[in-house]
Amino acid sequence: MEGRRSLQGYLLIFMSGVFWGLGGYFVTQMSNLGVSSMITAFSGHFLSLIPLLFYLLIKKGISGLKISKKGLLFSILLGALTKGIFKLANDTAVTLVGVSAASILMYLAPVFAAIMSMLFLKRNYGVISILL
């Protein structure tokens, strides 16, 4: 049973990587057709709503859709401010500089955050602070 759960986990990780990797291809193709980054960012989130809704209903039933007003407000704010802005920025970067450069910039984000926190918040991160 444990081996089957591990295999299922590896399969889900593999599928996640495949779908994440295909995102840049689809954004590029949609951009070539004249679709704006705003539409590509919105459509990706909107189209994922239906499969997630079915999954939630199958796993938890209708009670899985219950959420407090405060929880709903925080979910909307966090979703729009974090994931929404990130997706819009990433899709725009893919459109402007290509998939490879956008991916490199995205994965360098923690380095930029560390450098900015050292400059503006006076944090000390050891080796990185020596380079500055």
| Interval 5-51: pLDDT, tens | 888 888 988 988 888 788 888 888 888 899 888 888 788 778 888 88
What is the domain range of residue 43? 2-97
Note whether residue 25 is domain-resident. yes
Q: What is the pLDDT of residue 19?
A: 84
| Interval 74-120: pLDDT, tens | 888 887 778 888 888 888 898 899 888 888 888 888 888 888 888 88
Note whether residue 9 is domain-resident. yes
Total of domains in the chain: 1
The rounded distance, in Å, linking the Cα atoms of 117 and 125 is 9
The answer to whether 132 and 118 have CB atoms below 8 angstroms apart is: yes
Note whether residue 107 is domain-resident. no
If we measure between CA atoms, which residue out of 103, 101, 110, 89 comes closest to residue 41? 89
Note whether residue 103 is domain-resident. no
The rounded distance, in Å, linking the Cα atoms of 77 and 83 is 10
Note whether residue 35 is domain-resident. yes
| Interval 44-60: pLDDT, tens | 778 888 888 898 899 88
Helix residue ranges per DSSP H, 33-98: 37-60, 69-78, 85-97
